[in-house]
A = this chain, B = another copy of it.
Amino acid sequence: LELQTRLSRDVFVQTALALVDDEGLKSVTIRRLAEFHGVTPMALYRYFDDKIRIFDALAERLLSDVSIPEPDGRPWHDQVTDLLAAFVAALRAHPDAAILVLTRILQSNPGFAVTDRMLSLLTAAGFAVEAAAETASQALCSLVSVVITEPGRVAGNDVDGHDAAIRLQKATLSALDPRSYPHVVAAADALTRCVDTERYYRRSISAIVAGLRASQAIPEDTARRTSKSIGTKAAPRTRRPTTTTRCR
């Protein structure tokens, strides 16, 4: 009579988002979401195949909050700067959910849109397709980690413990042996709190854009004079051949 369909994907995503913002990512639980809507946990399975789909939906939600700027006549790097700034703004609105985006940019239309604009600008800048793809992904996911690791943030923490945690962290760094880690001790303050958050993000974005411009200058396949081989083989996965299609 009052409301015929209270439940929907969107309603649950909205609740989940409020929950992350309030109590952190691990508070997002099928049972809590159900309880919140006065419903059985099983009711959620009408809308999400499993818990991962709820996380997928959350990431999509964050990405849909990115207000992609319209293309204009300015130089490509200025437009990239604005696009990345919009991306960061969307993530910063829900810092504890930001980590969900890290591996999910290419899993929803909003993510495709951001990536496509990024690729478009890089292509216009002269990047080859492959280089543009790698570079775009790297720029975006770097910014996700910049948001996640913003100095002075402690993930999943409540307001009470927050300040205390920061102070403790700074005290720990300051108390280190200066003969072993002189620069860490000297930078203890800057490493544990952000004096100017806006500048922090401005610096991050402009460092990334500067990297893009420098990469663009180099035509292709930069033969670095690094003597060392980069990286090692990943530890081999020795899992029995179970039934396939575990991930759809």
Contact = CB atoms under 8 A, between A and B. Distances in A.
Interface of A: 21-23, 69, 78, 81-82, 85-86, 88-89, 92-95, 102-103, 106, 109, 112-113, 115-116, 119-120, 123, 129-135, 137-138, 141-142, 144-146, 148-149, 151, 154-155, 157-161, 164-165, 169, 173, 176, 180-184, 186-187, 190-192, 195, 197-215, 218, 221-222, 224-235, 237-239, 241-242, 244-247
Instruction: Choose among A93, A176, A231, A247 the residue with the greatest number of B CB atoms under 10 Å from its CB.
Output: A231
B22 A164 contact: no
18 contacts: A22-B239, A81-B224, A102-B149, A112-B180, A115-B181, A115-B191, A132-B190, A145-B145, A154-B247, A160-B241, A161-B246, A161-B247, A202-B222, A205-B230, A207-B208, A207-B212, A207-B214, A210-B211
